[in-house]
Chain A
Amino acid sequence: MSDRRSVVIEREFAHPPERLWRALTQPHLIAEWLMANDFVPAVGHQFKLRGDWGGVLDCEVLEVEPLRTLSYTWNFAHDDPAYALESVVTFTLTPTAAGTHLRMEQAGFGASQKAAYGGAHAGWKKFLDQLDQVAGNND
């Protein structure tokens, strides 16, 4: 068994790769679907993703192949190694008849899995709290 695990999400979008690529690489667009950021599509560029919950992810661009591949580190620093996360997120675009197939792989979760607690889990808790509030307000 490998010591590292991945989460893979794939989806078909009814939009051409050009449009999807812009959403993946333009900071103001990234902010709309992912998180606030200072992204620049240049290999070696270091940037941060800031989650609504206050968590900050340290990232570095690893690969930029326009309209095809975008890869960056997705790290969450924490004094306790059990909570720290070091992972790599890779987006792969494939044109299809209907638009674009997008594959996201987040690789690098430790075998204990607990590593990802850092950013994402805090995020889910916040999301669920907000959902709870929204649901409550709709009564």
Chain B
Amino acid sequence: MMPLGADMLFKTLADPTRRALFERLCREGEQTVGALTARAGVSQPAVSKHLGVLREAGLVVDRQAGRQTHYTAQPGALAPLIDWTGQMAGFWERKFDDLEDLLRRMDQ
């Protein structure tokens, strides 16, 4: 089975608001909670809560500067998700190997 870390990663990214926050940090780089809230469509406490969940999953890191907290995406944390996609592809690659073998044997 998948490591627990992967389960947490998938659960974390399943929430569309949280995923959108992560995507914005990936595309636009480090941002403050205030800047993220301005375009999140949810309240600042909600944004802070989502960022906390993202941090727990290792998807973002925070940096305190004065009164502001800045968040940065950690795209490397997506590795289990990329591995998963690779496994799915592996299922079909193996089936295609069997199909190739079958095609060679047909009509012989």
Q: Is A112's CB under 8 angstroms from B10's CB?
A: yes
Complex: how many Å from CA A29 to CA B101? 11
Q: How large is the interface on A (under 10, 10 to 19, 20 to 34, 35 or more residues)?
A: 20 to 34
Given contacts A1-B23, A111-B13, A120-B91, contact A32 B102 (CB under 8 A): yes
CA distance A18 to B74 in the complex (A): 49
In the docked arrangement, what's the CA distance between A125 and B94, Å? Answer: 14
- B95 CB contact (under 8 Å) in A3, A20, A33, A125: A33
In the bound complex, how far is the Cα of B85 from the Cα of A109, in angstroms?
10
Interchain Cβ contacts under 8 Å between A and B, 20 examples: A7-B88, A9-B92, A11-B96, A13-B103, A20-B103, A29-B102, A32-B98, A33-B98, A33-B102, A34-B95, A106-B92, A110-B14, A111-B14, A111-B16, A112-B11, A114-B7, A120-B88, A124-B90, A125-B1, A127-B94
Task: List residues of chain B with CB under 8 Å of any chain A CB.
Answer: 1-2, 7, 10-11, 13-14, 16, 19, 23, 81, 84-85, 87-96, 98-103, 106-107
